[in-house]
Chain A
Amino acid sequence: MKKYVFLVLVCMIAASSCKKETIFEIEPNDTYTQANLINVGKPVSGFINTESDFDFYMIDVTEPVLFDISVSAIKGVNIAFTVWKADDGIVPLKYVDDMRKSAPERLRGFKVEPGRYYVSISHGDKDQRIKNTENAYTLLINQEDAEGFESEPNDTILSANPLPIGVPVRGYYSPAFNKTNTNAANPNREEDWFTFSVDEAPVVCDVEVTGVTGIEAELDIVDAQGTVLFSSNPQGQGVSQIAKGIGLSAAGNYYIMVAAKNYAANNEVPYSLIVTIRSYDNTTEIEPNNIMQSATPVVTDTIMGRIYPDSDVDFYNYNGDSSENKWYRVEVTPPMTLDILFAIYNTKGEELYSVNNEGTGQKELYPNLFIGTPFYVKVWAKRGQLDLDNHYTLAIVPVNISDMIDIEPNDTKEQANTVPGNAINGYVSKKADTDYFILHYKGRQKKYFVVTAPEKIPVSFSVTDSLGYILQTVKVKEGKSATLHEIIDGKGYCIVKPLNDTYDGIYHIEIRDKP
């Protein structure tokens, strides 16, 4: 019996000796000169003894590593900590405070170089300062390999980390808040800034930030003048943010900002950021081209673009070889995923024509654009549609059709095109396209109208009185001709309407004096 009691006692003693030894702070440690020396991987506990208590700890770093600094929660206390570096005194590097009571604080991915660092623990700023001498906090600093990671603090454009082209760099969405960020648009947002250099311009760059669970990433690309070249749209949590084909028109430094929306943090999974650069060959859009002023010039017959992110709008600028009004055929061929739309703008920024005839995956076109150069084409997709992987193609081709007088918009009597001679060549240029033409003659004249419909489009042809009221209408089958004669009392209108939903067809009308 005695033997058993002895064995149990031995076991209990052994078990108690297995418990981790808790190291407590040694007060006073209220200033950095009184800081307690701690080691990586060794937790240390302490108390917020007074409302204004500061507990300083110091740690010596011998090689570049990433610190993972965590402070456990204290019930009822909004705890916070600051990381400092010894540098002829101490310099604050990072203040970590999630502004919540009874919540732990953590900073992961904090890159440190050889030297002495300090961590001060205190009450956070948000709530009323209270002490807690019953519940201790525990400070633990772990380290990991710093290779390929961001180097905090990189919270501003001035402290941006150099980003090598084509080499991924990782970073954490940690901590949740940055109290020193006083930017009115995004106050207290924890931002990671990176910079890369472009030696020869123009080039286009692609930037990708991988998705992280629970994080809705935000990505900005900024030039050296502070102009935002790209600002991401919300893509949802855990989804990558990608900026594709961003045009960099001048050599110099560019900046990338990565942040989490709504002060979210993830201390477990890092994001990966990569920037690649390629030369510009005039065959793709240059983002940002979301406004007329930054429109991508079209110098070849076709140019490709992407609708990405959601609500992306692409402007193109066509200069042509002369400013005279000419006929152009404008086509946008989308990938199968997009219902594409486009519009034509003049140099004053006025929308002249908007084209939306077809559905998802189908080509949109404007076969008879009559305009002087330069003009602008705006391309976008229906709300909520985007496609990063597949591009659309915009084609602008000058066309030459004799006697073409169908200048859109001529959908009403007031917009009617004047008929200068004895022939009208017109286009059914969109679904239900109605074309008005005005006739002017001296006195009463009997005219014979020989109407030939487009190959696949039956049309109706009407002649009106001088006020635009229809006198006669004739229906012409697709590809066929029909003749109508009518007396024009000095002035009259011709109206051509398609009789099915087909478009992109040329009709001809010959106006004769005799049958």
Chain B
Amino acid sequence: MRKVKKYIIVVLAAAISCISCTSAPKYEAPVEPVIAPVEVNVNFRFIASDISIANPDDDKRCYYKVFIDKIDAGRTTIGLESQKKYFEAKLSPNTHLIVIEKWVLDEREGEYKKVNNILQPKPNYFYFETKTNAVTEVIMVHDKKTNTAQYSVNIQ
């Protein structure tokens, strides 16, 4: 009898778990998913995101323009400030300087505009090392409240 009770409990538990599975919210892709980098032969990755965003209205679409060794190297992917935005490149093994510039979408004008210097991340630069057989990942987290940027490096 005890054995039967045990089975019933197991069956009920399984049924409940099934029901909870079907009622779980369906995942929907964002309108424009952040495009993950596709280049494989890279040794440098820059990842930028913002924190301390007061409310969703302040979470704007943006990107960071990337200058490496004072040369315009391109820009990150586009995403909300709170989202991770990526830039990848193949660099010579050496010490490099990255300088970033934040651009935010002005929805009324329908175009991206450079954020005022006062509101740009500080510091807006970082020195890092690259190697031939490893990927150097520079992660920048910008605190929107204080406009301060924290950089960290991860060599894989």
Query: Which A residues lie at the B interface, using CB under 8 A?
Result: 442-444, 446, 462, 465-471, 473, 487, 489-490
Contacts and interface: CB of A to CB of B under 8 A. Distances in A.
B35 A470 contact: no
Nearest to B75: A487
Contacts of A466: 32, 78
A468 B111 CA distance: 9
A489 B78 contact: yes
Interface residues of B, number: 16
B97 to A, nearest CB: 20
A469 B112 contact: yes
Interface string B132-151: 00000000000000000000
Given A487-B75, A489-B77, A489-B78, A443 B111 contact: no
24 contacts: A443-B35, A443-B38, A443-B39, A444-B38, A444-B39, A446-B74, A465-B32, A465-B112, A466-B32, A466-B78, A467-B31, A467-B32, A468-B110, A469-B61, A469-B110, A469-B111, A470-B110, A470-B112, A471-B75, A487-B74, A489-B35, A489-B77, A489-B78, A490-B35
B87 to A, nearest CB: 9
Contacts of B110: 468-470
Contacts of A444: 35, 37-39, 77
Nearest to A490: B35
Interface string B5-39: 00000000000000000000000000110010111
B105 interface: yes
Contacts of A446: 74
Interface in B80-128: 105, 107, 110-112
B126 to A, nearest CB: 21
Interface of B: 31-32, 35, 37-39, 61, 74-75, 77-78, 105, 107, 110-112
A208 B61 CA distance: 70
Q: In terms of DSSP, what is the predominant structure of the interface of chain B?
A: loop
A interface, by DSSP: helix, strand, loop or mixed? strand
Nearest to A442: B38
B109 to A, nearest CB: 8
Nearest to B32: A466
A466 B78 CA distance: 9
Contacts of B61: 469
A172 B151 CA distance: 101
Contacts of A473: 111
B105 A469 contact: yes
A490 B112 CA distance: 18
Nearest to A465: B78
A443 to B, nearest CB: 3
A442 B110 CA distance: 25
B72 to A, nearest CB: 8
Contacts of B75: 471, 487
Contacts of B111: 462, 469-471, 473
A487 B65 CA distance: 11
A374 B25 CA distance: 54
Contacts of B107: 469
A471 B35 CA distance: 16
A445 to B, nearest CB: 9
